[in-house]
Structure 1
Amino acid sequence: MSEHPDCALVRRCYEAFGQGDMEKLGSMMTADVIHHVPGNNPLSGHHKGREGVLDLYRRLGEETNGTFRVELGPVLVDGRGHVMSFHTVYADRGDRGIEIGEGLFFTIVGGKITDIDGCIADIDESDAFWS
């Protein structure tokens, strides 16, 4: 059985992210995409527009001196334009390290990502790492 196109899209996004290919990653998003980051830290909030979202992703690398990486786990689809992905984040920042479970809820319209909602296993741990 072949993979649902929306799951395949999300997997391609993770692949592009892992390769640092922001141009390819951006091509899979609408111009008005929004990425919602939970918590109360300098990265939290609503990152609006393709460039705003890509700037967030670039900042993850900058803030961690290139150590930020994700290991993709299950990818689930509802067949109505929504995909849930689960991953583990690994990163070092200063004298701190983090290994934390996260999930993303994607909304997909016309084969492009329009909205990304993040969830974190431990918001307090994430806030402490990024603050």
Structure 2
Amino acid sequence: MIYSYMQKQENTEYKIGGQIWVQKNAENFMGPGRVALLEKLSEGCSISRAAESLGMDYTTAVKNIIAINKVADKPLVINHNDEHFEVTRYGNEIIKVYLQLKEEHTVFLEKLNKTFEEKLTKIIL
């Protein structure tokens, strides 16, 4: 019984993961879903098409846009009508900065995983 438990432990792969959420004054500003929505709108998708492609309903997408603009220093998205939402220059810059942070976060997680694996190996041996 102990042997089978040990054998299972040796084949287990641990992975430390995480997401980046940017907050301002304790309110969520930017995260993976919101950035994906902004990217779709920036590509010229209607709000309905952008939402649908992300598995989000129209109301949730609009609420996210309202929340983003409420927290931001300047509007990230301008609403021209019920379907046409335009990402501003500021919004596109925020997307770029977030994606850079995400890359740095990925590198950090890779290092953290390597360190954890090394420490775990020492414990098991």
Structure that is richer in helix per residue: 2
TM-score (normalizing by structure 2): 0.27
TM-score (normalizing by structure 1): 0.26
Structure that is richer in strand per residue: 1
